[in-house]
Amino acid sequence: MSTIGVGLIGTGYMGKCHALAWNAVKPVFGDGPRPVLKHLAEVSPELAHRRADEFGFEKWTSDWRELIADPEVEVVSVTTPNAFHAEMAIAALEAGKHVWCEKPMAVKLEDAERMALKALEAGKVTALGYNYIQNPVIRHIKRLIEEGTIGTVNHFRFEMDEDFMADPEALFYWKSEASSGYGALDDFGVHPLSLIQYLFGGVTRVMAQLSMPYADRPSRDGGRRKVETFDIASVLIELTNGAAGVMALDRSAWGRKGRIAVQVFGSKGTIAYDQERMNEFQLYTASDHAAEQGFRTILTAPVHAPYERFIPAPGHGLGFNELKIIECHELLRAIGGEAAQIVDFEAGLEIERAVHAMARSHHEGAWVRV
């Protein structure tokens, strides 16, 4: 297969990220089929036409079903709001397409289960947009954990904070609607969960508390509308390997822009990482001489694959969109029958089950098994 036909549904922030990745993956990695941008779908003909011209797609439509029916489209990127993921992904799988869907899988657990079942029945490759696991730093941290550099992991702390919901007078929009999900838990808390799954394995049980810092927000019609989602979540986590952990999420944290703070504590040392400084991590090993013990900062470099595919010199740094390119390459490897590092619908369903267990824990006020 020298080429692969691509369809894109949705052209907002994540849609543009997917388009950039599809356009860049062949020049960056050199192997695999060359993506051909065949068909783009948006809510209006005018926007679809404009985005197709900007992104480089051959055709455009305001009916996403027309895109899915296109025989020239072999893989579909779904980058629409959360509530539409299930219907679009299932339709694409039924049409015999591979699917690259943004996270979270779906708003309802039963929809995520249907997506995973349909992927199994269709025999097509699926991937969810958990690009943070593609970071060369995260890959190296996993290697250090597996090699026992910090000994047996006994505790971890993950924090994810952003401030896009921090202003109480910001206009109400779809992320405050119950139809979008629980809020911080499934809007971006799934990212730390993908890292927890990648680094440590499965989650056994959880205890969660959800908070709503603002009861209402101004609406475009001049009134105020009740907020229906939780912008803050605090969770205790127990892993299948027995380790204990904490996950704290806040979409209303002034000053935080893209923070995923990770601390992993082991019997022989500690690893620390912050997504806002995504090209470095800190390592402390108890085996160091007492006079030199301390955290040392390690910068990404060509030795941290696949950093070298982008930049030949250390310390220059990758960004969010580069991680999407790596994710795209892993998807193409999977489509080609090769081993790949992706979160498919089956693995993604485990993340969704953890999210819904957390929401249930909040309402029941008790530990809940996943």
If 0-12 CB within 10 Å is exposed, 13-18 middle and 19+ buried, where does residue 278 land? buried
For 3-130, give the CATH class: alpha beta
CA 64 to chain CA mean position, Å: 23
Among the four given CATH numbers 3.30.360.10, 3.40.50.720, 3.30.390.50, 3.40.630.30, the one describing domain 132-318+326-369? 3.30.360.10
Can 3-130 and 132-318+326-369 be said to share one CATH topology?
no
Q: Is the peptide bond before 306 cis (omega within 30 degrees of 0)?
A: yes
CA 172 to chain CA mean position, Å: 24
Where b means 16+ CB within 10 Å and e means fewer, 60-69 reads bbeebeebbe
pLDDT of residue 79: 98
Please state the pTM of the whole predicted model.
0.95
CA 132 to chain CA mean position, Å: 6
pLDDT of residue 1: 75
Closest by Cα among 171, 256, 255, 240 to 199: 240
pLDDT of residue 188: 87
Domain boundaries, the chain: 3-130, 132-318+326-369
Q: Which two tokens stand for residue 217?
A: 């927000």
Helix 13-29 to helix 320-335 angle (10° resolution) is 70
Low-confidence ranges of the chain (pLDDT < 70): none
Beta bridge partners of 259: 161
Backbone Cα Rg of the chain: 21
Q: Which two tokens stand for residue 233?
A: 């979540």
